[in-house]
Amino acid sequence: MRIQPPAPGIQPRHSRPAPAVLPGLGALLAMLALLLTAHTALAQGPLRADAPERYVVRPGDTLWDIAGRFLHEPWRWREVWQANPDIANPNRIYPGDVLVVDYTSGSPRIRTLQGGGGLRTVKLSPRVRVTDLDREIPAIPVNAVAPFLSRPLVTEAEEIDRAPYVVGFPDEKIIGGLGDTLYVRSITRAGNDRWEVLRPGQAYRDPDTGEVLGYEASSVATARLERLGDPATLVVTRSRKEVEVGDRLRPARDEEPIRSFFPRPGPAGMRGSVISVLNGVSQIGQYDVVVLNRGARDAVEVGQVFEAYRGGELRRDPVQARRTDWNWRNESPADASFWLGDWELDGWVRDKPDPNAPLPLHRRASRGSDKYIVPDSRSGVLMVFRVFPKVSFALVMYANKPMHVGEIVSAPRSP
């Protein structure tokens, strides 16, 4: 028998009408789903659980500080930042901008309120010119890196050899200072009359290969060219240190001021080392400047972030060492058990167990299992702010513990 479906508008016997949907319930369910999605994204994404919903940028803030308010890892800012396309510089942030967390796209994003970064009113005064209020916030504390933005330099040995150098002073002086005349070989042509006096310093070497990566050259003074020649004559116009014979010169350059940039992870898989620190400290901490043995040739760029790690060294296991000390009275290289084991002869022992022992000088042996490798542990986070061909300068953004020269750096590990 074929059962015909009920005609339209006729309810089958024993069926019940579907319950009516309460007004607004669908919208409420959609809102709850959106909130649940946002909460899940917040728990699993880069945002902190205690991230503010709204933040007003203040003078003195840095991008790193602001990112740290919102994110577990400040260098992941680019992943959540929603640039404002309606303003001239959509990626820049200024004091007075209002940053909010926005969930409308299904995942949390940080953006500026409409008009927050586009329209700014600057009150003009006949006596005071205010410019700092409209200046974009920097990525990192400028005062920490300002002394290192143009000096010291890292230069190649060939550049040092080819550079003009101070050969002497008038009146048989041995040093020169502010207002003194310098004799320099050899400046026979020049595009401008401003020169910088540099002093070659330490060589930076790769700890793994021994390659010379460059030479540090510190700034000594600036001078004005008075006359071309061999030697040429220059007059010191600004002095940081006393000028000495052998100091090198290069044309003075107007260095580009630091610009805001987004922090981002360094090249994946790249490993390097901290090979020097620029402020002469032995224990490196927050806002110290370090030198890395990686530069432009290794795809390192300004703004890249690296994590520093310590560990990896070989240490003696005191427990295993006590258990496996070789008793020369009971076991000797003449025994088969000695050679079949994993003992290693690693030195000589004198006057043990006492000076009158039958063998006052005998071999010392140990097993290879009495050592272990220290696991890596993160000691800090660095951001590169200046790059040379083979090395780069980085600022320590924060340190979990005192850092030291020789620690390993690598791109941040994926969360």
Task: Say which residue, 330 or 305, is predicted with more confidence.
Answer: 305
Kindly report which listed range (62-76, 145-159, 204-218, 226-240) carries the lowest average pLDDT score: 145-159
> For the chain, what is the radius of gyration of the CA atoms?
34
Checking DSSP bridges between strand 81-82 and strand 109-112, what pairing results, if any?
parallel
Lookup: tokens for 373: 């490798």
> How far is Cα 100 from Cα 214, in angstroms, rounded to an integer?
45
| pLDDT tier for residue 234 given thresholds of 50, 70 and 90 | very high
How high is the pLDDT of residue 261?
A: 65
Using a cut of 0.85, tell me whether the model's pTM lies above it. Answer: no
Distance CA 246, CA 380 (A): 39
Domain limits, the chain: 26-122+130-137, 150-251, 264-313+375-410, 314-325+342-373
Per-residue model confidence (pLDDT) at position 132: 42
**Phi and psi (nearest 5°) for 21?**
-80, 130
Residue with tokens 């942030």: 93
Measured CA angle at 278 (ends 277, 281), to 5 deg: 60
- Say yes or no to pLDDT of 89 above 70: no
The CATH T-level fold of domain 264-313+375-410 is Elongation Factor Tu (Ef-tu); domain 3 (2.40.30)
The predicted model gives 332-345 an average pLDDT of 55
Closest CA to 111 of 133, 145, 87, 143: 87
**Euclidean distance between CA atoms 111 and 71, whole angstroms:** 14
* Burial of residue 313 (number of CB atoms within 10 Å: 0-12, 13-18, 19+): exposed
**What per-residue string of b and e applies to 57-90 under the rule 16 or more CB within 10 Å gives b?**
beeebbbbbbbbebbebbbbbeebbeebeebeee
Q: How confident is the model at residue 359 (pLDDT cuts 50, 70, 90)?
A: low
Tokens of 68: 């740290």
Domain 150-251, classified CATH 2.40.10, yes or no: yes
Name the residue with higher pLDDT: 159 or 36.
Answer: 159
Q: List the one residue out of 284, 311, 268 whose CA is nearest residue 397.
A: 284
Work out the angle at residue 349's Cα, subtended by the Cα atoms of residues 344 and 351, and round it to the nearest 5 degrees: 155
Higher per-residue confidence, 322 vs 101:
101
SS3 4: coil
Mean pLDDT of 251-274: 79
Strand order in the sheet with 54-56: 54-56, 98-102, 109-112, 81-82
Answer whether 301's CB lies under 8 Å from 261's CB: no
Q: What type of residue sits at position 29? A: L
Sequence length of the chain is 415
Query: The dihedral of CA 79, 85, 90, 96: what is its sign?
Result: negative
Give the type of residue at 311. Answer: G
* Residue type at position 397: M
> Between 116 and 50, where is the model more confident?
50
Residue 260: the pLDDT is 56
Does residue 294 contact residue 408 with C-beta atoms inside 8 Å? no
